[in-house]
Structure 1
Amino acid sequence: MRVFFAAARVLMALGLLVAVVGRFQVYLRFWIGRGDQEIAVDVVNFFSYFTIQTSLFHAVVFALGAWALLARRGADPAWLGALRAAATTYTVTTGIVYNALLRQIPLEPGLEQPWANEVLHTVVPVYALLDWLLAPGRDPVRWRTVGWIVAYPVLWAGCTLLRAPFVLDEGTGNPWWYPYPFLDPHASAGGYGSVATWVVVLAIVVTAMASGVVGISRARRRP
């Protein structure tokens, strides 16, 4: 069982890396073909997506988790359990948000890459949840970990909203760039009020997901 889940984690880590690299190559060709003058800004924008950041993070966590299964016989160390809880929360939440809000939004011609989107937003989130539920080695995670898990998305949203008004979108010519439509105050009649609502909703979703992930680890605690 440990070997099976270790192999699956290695496969998922490689899948995430291949999908991120694949997306980056497609975007890079697109920027060059479009004649962008600030490729460095485009690169920073690409790595500003929550999905990209958390996918790279989860690839590392999957690799660490595979090592733990093969090198250890008991429960995961507490730090790895906390990292796995965070990665699972972010990946599953990303999958839910993408499939609920973003799947129907068409990409610009030249940016389509369905297999990578499915890996990042469907295949890995589904496996991540199954891994958390079924894989051996998981120990109860402390409730205070929920606060640390929620802190990163909140900081990410804050940094994104502070940076976005000062970034030129070379595709549209707008003097702002937001990674997701629900964070763009110009995309809704509600402006920043609508953005604030979405940020609160997503914070609640992440908190609920993190609480569920931690709660699962504690519910199966053996005496």
Structure 2
Amino acid sequence: MTATARITASSQLYRRGFAALSVVAALLIFAAVIGQLVFSLSFSPDDLGFFFTNFFSFFTILSNVVAAVALALATWFIVGRGDAPAWFWGVLGASTTYMVTTGVVYNALLRGISLDQEATLGWSNEVLHLFGPILVAVLWWFAPGRIALPWNHLGLVALFPLAWGAYTVVRGALFGWYPYPFMNPSQPGGYGAVALYMCAIAAVIIGADALIVRLSRRTRRRS
């Protein structure tokens, strides 16, 4: 076997290994989301429409679903097609940012706090808030063919959390339901406290994405 053939075989093996781990991570995250959904449904909510809207209003659930879809796409593009378009790397980078933010915010602000909105399934909670974010970050780092992200990626990444924050505040004011205690203006400090928490979360998101963009550009130059 020539040196070129050995390199090609090694590259294919690496891609297949990455794809296998991506599939496992995506299935684990999907299982955690479905597991929590089924567990919550076991408490027989009165209004299913309101329940499902509430469930998919959690940033944790949304970020994990996006991440699982991005990992599934990674398998298709990297192994099935051999390359991936630039927009996909933007999506994968954004999902990594959201997952890192989910892990940091939960473990810094919410771990140990009981959320009255629904009962929590233990193993699912750990996957969604700890193991999932770690797996996504690691897979992003080792993704074959990863490209350098442009700095305007920070602005694009900020759009979804801004829309989610506005939706959460408006919907909470209308229906009196908030996915997280720190977004409820009935807490001490009112909307001022909510604004401070949102600014802190925005700083985490921008900081996490700035790190991801910086690392992508640095490692790309080295490669």
- TM above 0.5, yes or no, is yes
CA distance in 1, matches of 2:66, 2:113: 25
Alignment match of 2:170 (pick from 155, 162, 175): 162
Residues 102 and 110 of structure 1, relative CA distance in 2, 3 Å threshold:
closer
* Runs of 4+ residues over 6 Å off in structure 1: none
Which residue does 1:173 correspond to in 2? none
- For residue 27 of structure 1, the aligned residue among 32, 37, 40 is 40
Q: Which residue of 2 aligns with 1:181?
A: 181
Aligned residue pair count: 209
Once the two structures are superposed, residues 90-136 of structure 1 have per-residue CA deviations (whole angstroms, 9 ceiling, x without a partner) of 01110111111111112559823111011111111111111122221
Is 1:82 matched with 2:90?
A: yes
The answer to whether the aligner puts 1:52 opposite 2:52 as a matched pair is no
CA contact (8 A) 1:26 1:110 kept: no
Q: Distance in 1 between matches of 2:117 and 2:157?
A: 35
Q: Kindly report the root-mean-square deviation, in angstroms, between the aligned alpha carbons of the 2 structures.
A: 1.7
Once residues 78 and 109 of structure 1 are traced to their aligned partners in structure 2, the CA distance between those partners, rounded to angstroms, is 39
Deviation (angstroms), 1:183 = 0.4
**1:42-191 to 2 correspondence within 5 Å?**
42-74=51-83, 76-107=84-115, 111-167=119-175, 176-187=176-187, 189-191=188-190
Equivalent residues of 1:150, 1:210 under 8 A apart: no
Does the aligned pair in 1 maintain the 2:183–2:194 contact within 8 Å? Answer: yes
**Per-residue deviation, 1:53:** 1.0
Overall identity of the aligned pairs, in % = 40
Aligned match of 2:192? 193
More helix as a share of residues: 2
1:186 counterpart letter in structure 2: S
Query: TM-score, with normalisation over the residues of structure 1?
Result: 0.89
Aligned residue runs from structure 1 range 33-44, under 5 A? 36-44=45-53
Write the distance in 2 (CA, Å) between the matches of 1:6 and 1:88.
Answer: 17
Change (3 A) 1:192 1:109: closer
Question: Which consecutive residues of structure 1, in runs of 5 or more, have no partner in the other structure?
Answer: 168-175
Q: What is the distance in 2 between the residues matched to 1:112 and 1:204?
A: 27
Q: Tell me the distance in 1 between the aligned counterparts of 2:54 and 2:99.
A: 20
Q: TM-score, normalized by length of structure 2?
A: 0.89
